[in-house]
Amino acid sequence: MTRLLLLTFLLASQTAFAITNIETQRLNNTEPGTSGNISFTLDGEMGDSDEFTLGAAITFIRSYTRDEWIVLLDREYSEIDDEVNTDETLLHVRHLTKHNQHWGHEVFTQYEEDLFSDLAKRAILGAGVRYTLNADTKLKTANHFGLGAFYEDEKYADNILEDDEQNVRLNLYWSYRNKLADNMTYTSTLYFQPDVEEFGDDKGLWQNAVTISVTSTISLSVLWNASYDTKAPDGNEDSELNYKSIIIYNF
């Protein structure tokens, strides 16, 4: 099913280059076929300062009996008084090969660019294994576990004194889905990504979402995130809590 997200209320912005969570999308993708969504954000203000913000995101999932492809493209752009202050791009591509109902292995790559953040560019390439605890798609709950590693290439902005970094990180995650009612689903995903060479250099994300089907075509999803980076580009520990709500039109 293709989902068009007509209106997005961003109640707090996400940290640039936080961990990208794709599990919320594919937790609901339990059968072979094609699914995805397109979201648009358009905000503006005219007065003492003229503000303009445009965002778009596309997620595409193609699932076969033994294989699954996921492509995520996210773009955000904004101006204040004709001066650009946000220019972000994210592309994530992942392929999963299923060996049986429980086990599979996956490879993935990701590229991010933000012309106005301390971390200007980030590219990763990785692989891992995925284990599905609840393989029966008719069950109310589902649990998935992942273990892998990736190579990370980070380039800082010109004003940052820190040197660009190349790291190898472990990638551990747990994703959970529970159907609370016929029209309500809860999903939760926990990521932990420590540097394999430098003790104490860790990244993490915990994201929770409740999605309610208001009618047969309209749904409301509320997301809450907690993220942290023990070695942010400015050298300090960085943690953030944020949330957002989305109105979804299904067709």
The dihedral through the CA atoms of 163, 164, 168, 170 has a sign that is positive
Q: What is the SS3 assignment for 26?
A: helix
Q: Report the pLDDT value the prediction gives residue 182, as an integer from 0 to 100.
A: 86
Residue 207, Cβ density class (10 Å: 0-12 exposed, 13-18 middle, ≥19 buried): buried
Give the chain's largest Cα–Cα span: 60
Residue 87 bridge partners (DSSP): 77
Residue 210, Cβ density class (10 Å: 0-12 exposed, 13-18 middle, ≥19 buried): middle
Instruction: Please state the rounded mean pLDDT for residues 11-26.
Output: 58
> Could you give the residue ranges of the DSSP H alpha helices within the chain?
23-26
76-105: pLDDT as tens digits: 877 777 777 778 889 999 999 999 888 999
Q: Report the pLDDT value the prediction gives residue 99, as an integer from 0 to 100.
A: 93
Asked whether residue 131 carries a pLDDT value surpassing 80, the answer given is: yes
C-alpha 214/C-alpha 50 separation (Å) is 35
Q: Report the pLDDT value the prediction gives residue 137, as an integer from 0 to 100.
A: 65
Which of the listed ranges 47-51, 162-166, 176-180 does the model predict with the highest average pLDDT? 176-180
Instruction: Please state the rounded mean pLDDT for residues 30-41.
Output: 69
Of all residues in the chain, the percent with pLDDT exceeding 70 is 76
Tokens linked to 156 = 């800082």
Which of the listed ranges 7-11, 12-16, 177-181 does the model predict with the highest average pLDDT? 177-181
Q: What are the structural domains of the chain?
A: 2-250 (2.40.160.40)
Only one residue has tokens 């094609």, namely 34
Pairing status of strand 119-132 against strand 141-156: antiparallel
Helices (H) and strands (E) in the chain, counts: 1, 13
| Stretch (H or E) spanning 110 | strand 103-114
C-alpha 123/C-alpha 128 separation (Å) is 17
Asked whether residue 12 carries a pLDDT value surpassing 60, the answer given is: no
